[in-house]
């Protein structure tokens, strides 16, 4: 798969809840590989961004699967960790506001409040349960991606704040985006 297989708003599938994975089959493992390939293809097409994670719904597969890049500060590192049926079991710490973007919401960014620490449980590719405690940016990634499995996007957290939206310039810097330039069809049923 490539970046062209990533779906984006207003595709209504992004608003659907993903199904739990019951059995890890060769089809599920292929979806995981497709997610990694699509993410790498996407960030190879972007000068100033790195694809740090992807949910299966973003390649139009409605399964509760998330892949997270192992080193999101190194664009050349193509290793990912797979989280099947990920669930936040505890969100704690302060709510911190920071920028987010999304491969399924092209050229739109926003300042979103997220918990500074989360505890996540999931299955690995062999069906074994494991748990992760994440803080800072990694905690934000988990909240963003697990939202995807529930049919939510980062823009849903800020849709009523006209000052929360941004766009990226050719220089890689974010600047405020007037609210009247935000596509309102993103929130239509």
Q: Are 51 and 59 in contact (CB under 8 A)?
A: no
- The verdict on domain 3-183 having CATH code 3.10.20.740 is no
Burial of 4 per CB tally in 10 Å (0-12, 13-18, 19+) = exposed
Q: Are 100 and 70 in contact (CB under 8 A)?
A: no
The mean pLDDT of 83-108, rounded to a whole number, is 96
| pLDDT greater than 80 at residue 112 | yes
| pLDDT greater than 90 at residue 111 | yes
| pLDDT greater than 70 at residue 40 | yes
Position 188 scores a pLDDT of 78
The residues pairing with 68 across neighbouring beta strands, listed in sequence order, are 53, 81
| pLDDT greater than 90 at residue 21 | yes
Determine the Cα–Cα distance for residues 111 and 88; give it in Å rounded to an integer: 21
The mean pLDDT of 60-67, rounded to a whole number, is 98
Position 57 scores a pLDDT of 98
| pLDDT greater than 90 at residue 189 | no
Tell me the range of 115-119, 165-169, 181-185 where mean pLDDT is highest: 115-119
Residue 145 is among the residues annotated as catalytic for this protein: yes
Distance of CA 76 to the CA centre of its chain: 19
**Domain boundaries defined on the chain:** 3-183
The residues pairing with 53 across neighbouring beta strands, listed in sequence order, are 68
């Amino acid at each position: 798969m490539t970046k062209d297989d990533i779906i984006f708003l207003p595709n209504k599938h992004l608003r659907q809840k993903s199904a739990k994975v019951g059995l890890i089959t060769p089809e599920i493992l292929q979806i995981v590989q497709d997610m990694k390939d699509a993410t790498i293809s996407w960030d190879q097409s972007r000068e100033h961004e790195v694809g740090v994670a992807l949910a299966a719904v973003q390649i139009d597969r409605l399964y509760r699967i998330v892949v997270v890049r192992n080193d999101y500060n190194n664009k050349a590192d193509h290793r990912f960790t797979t989280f099947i049926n990920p669930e936040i079991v505890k969100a704690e710490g302060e709510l911190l506001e920071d920028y987010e973007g999304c491969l399924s919401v092209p050229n739109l960014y926003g300042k979103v409040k997220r918990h500074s620490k989360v505890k996540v449980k999931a299955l690995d590719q062999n069906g074994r349960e494991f748990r992760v405690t994440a803080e800072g940016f990694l905690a934000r990634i988990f909240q963003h991606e697990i939202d995807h499995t529930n049919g939510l996007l980062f823009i849903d957290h800020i849709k009523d704040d006209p000052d929360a939206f941004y766009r990226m310039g050719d220089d890689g810097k974010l600047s405020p985006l007037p609210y009247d330039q935000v596509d309102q069809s993103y929130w239509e049923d």
